Amino acid sequence: MITMRLCAPFTARKALPWLCCCALLSGLQAVALDSPAPQRLARVKDIASIEGIRDNQLVGYGIVVGLQGTGDSQQTTFPTQTLSSTLLRMGVSVPASAIRVQNLAAVFVSATLPPFSRSGTKLDITVSSAGDAHSLEGGLLLMTPLYGADGKIYAQAQGPLVVGGYSISVNGNTRQMNHPNTARVPFGAIVERAVPLDIGDKNQFSLLLNDADFRTAEAVSDAINLTLNRTTAHPVDSRRIVLTARPGEEIPAFLAEVESINVPIYPRAKVIVNERTGTVVIGGTVVLQPVSILHGGLAVNVVSEFQVSQPGTFSSGGTTKVVQQTSVDAQDKPVNRIELKQGATVDDLVRSLQTIGASARDVISILQAMKSAGALEAEIEVL
């Protein structure tokens, strides 16, 4: 089997040093390394996580005030209903139908609650318009409760918005940069309720690999036992590894030592294809088999031209008409042939595709056909 490592973008005129471990084909620019790849090492904390120690997502609904006429329009009724309910809680009774303001907007607020967060911890929040507001620039988010998946309130959000864009409209001409309908509030939420998570009274934990693989799970277990000089880890399946701490051992120190261990990893051979952008990413462990590729195409162009036909200078009774002239041009491109022999690398494939002038869309079709023919030993994932 031939193992390949990919590297920096390659051009036909100049070969760059082989330093990287992936190839990016966007507009058909890529490179590869066919020298033997050394064993890959990574920290445990980069390829796995501790079961139960996780983030929690929070979401809430509120209103933003203080906008300069860029808020929701009158056709969007729920912002005025929200404002009416807020005023009613403050002792002001105003019917929603009587409210005529354009300086407020209904928004959804989202945040992430990190593990071990306690009451008083501050969180960053993201605010997004829920109506037809033009911009949230200069707005102030009023106190908004943030709910967890169980329906309980875990944080309260409030503060001035920071918008990373703008939108200006004058006499029908609009100038916009980025997305002015989404904003952030740094440290805009305060945790009111902590998620119960106590690891002090436990001596057994589950290590979950980000990518399930039996060989990697076995290698991680062996590396942990070798580093700690005792049998403390054993794999249960392709993703889960059970860790057992000694009685009376400090759990934070134990987990910190485990997460800092460098372990060998064995990633799967993958080819990532993005049909929308025409981008292809080929992993470094992709293996090619001998194959011949014939690539060609038929281009048909239909061109319509409008010409004016009018009567002669001294003619009578004639009329001027617009006549459409249509021409059809068909070009059958010659078939381009690519032959990959035994021991061919990704670099050879990329060079050949660049030689025939294949586009990124052509590359996607060729790779899928190679997979079907058994000449590409990799998993193709379409985004």
Residue 59: pLDDT band (50, 70, 90) is very high
Strands 140-147 and 153-160: antiparallel
Looking at residue 127, its pLDDT comes to 95
Residue 28: pLDDT band (50, 70, 90) is very low
Looking at residue 152, its pLDDT comes to 94
User: How far is it, in rounded angstroms, from Cα 128 to Cα 86?
Assistant: 20
Q: Worst-scoring range by mean pLDDT, 105-119, 150-164, 266-280, 333-347? A: 333-347
Looking at residue 172, its pLDDT comes to 59
DSSP code string of 149-195: TTS-EEEEEEEE-EES-EEEEETTEEEEES-TTEEEEEEEEEE-SPP
Looking at residue 201, its pLDDT comes to 80
Q: Are 353 and 366 contacting, i.e. CB atoms less than 8 angstroms apart?
A: yes
Q: What is the pTM of this model?
A: 0.65
Closest to 133 (Cα-Cα) out of 177, 79, 170? 79
pLDDT at residue 346 tops 80: no
Does the domain spanning 42-53+199-264 belong to CATH 3.30.1360? yes
Mean pLDDT across 38-63: 89
Q: Give the rounded percent of residues in the chain with a pLDDT score beyond 70.
A: 76
pLDDT at residue 159 tops 90: yes
Closest to 10 (Cα-Cα) out of 279, 18, 21? 18
Closest to 305 (Cα-Cα) out of 271, 285, 286, 329? 329
Residue 326: pLDDT band (50, 70, 90) is low
Looking at residue 356, its pLDDT comes to 73
User: How far is it, in rounded angstroms, from Cα 133 to Cα 66?
Assistant: 13
Mean pLDDT across 127-132: 91
pLDDT at residue 257 tops 60: yes
Looking at residue 171, its pLDDT comes to 62
More confidently predicted of 9 and 273: 273
Domain residues of the chain, as ranges?
1-39+267-309+322-383, 42-53+199-264, 56-191
Q: Give the rounded percent of residues in the chain with a pLDDT score beyond 90.
A: 34
Closest to 132 (Cα-Cα) out of 98, 105, 162, 97? 105
Rounded to 10 degrees, the C-alpha dihedral 80/81/82/86 comes to 100
- H/E stretch holding 87 reads helix 78-89
Residue 294: pLDDT band (50, 70, 90) is confident
Residue 320: pLDDT band (50, 70, 90) is confident
